[in-house]
Structure 1
């Protein structure tokens, strides 16, 4: 059985993905401390587009991989940080976790 579970291929980050990353920024800053840069680079989504993993540049060659979920619009559309992986580099591929 494939562990891919419907994850799409990696894509360049869109303004919507940056927006989702911004919505969980305070949660990440509590865990990692404030970072001077916070730019989404690329992402992967599940076919349903309710679960995302994004690579976010946080300074120098450091990145954090964010796993985020979004509730359905009828339930408010809230974006929630599920998990994160840190430290990561710009060269690290985004792998489902």
Structure 2
């Protein structure tokens, strides 16, 4: 459930960047490296998705969560790959 919470924190940033106001939920998450970074496939309506990279600093540095990068548009069947 922590991964869903991470996405909720960057949801507005993604909506602002892709011009969509219908971002619903993150479908999958993968840890990308030893720094706490995640990649998520996010459904933004119908068969359209965005792939987002989310960074979270370690607790000792404040646990800041931010949207690092995104790929849009993507389709539901597009495989999520590190970027």
TM-score, normalising length: structure 1: 0.77
TM-score, normalising length: structure 2: 0.89
Instruction: Please state whether the residue corresponding to 1:48 is helix, strand or coil.
Output: coil
Greater strand share, structure number? 2
Stretches of structure 2 that go unaligned for 5 or more consecutive residues are none
1:75 aligns with 2:61: yes
RMSD over equivalenced CA pairs, Å: 1.5
1:83 deviation in Å? 0.4
Q: Note if contact 1:35-1:59 (Cα within 8 Å) is conserved in structure 2.
A: no
Per-residue CA deviations over 1:24-73 (Å, capped at 9, x if unaligned) read: 11111111123324211112113536011000111100110001110010
Instruction: Please state whether the residue corresponding to 2:7 is helix, strand or coil.
Output: helix
Aligned counterpart, 2:39:
53
Instruction: Please state whether the residue corresponding to 2:12 is helix, strand or coil.
Output: helix
Q: Greater CA radius of gyration, 1 or 2? A: 1
Stretches of structure 1 that go unaligned for 5 or more consecutive residues are 1-14
Equivalent pairs, count: 83
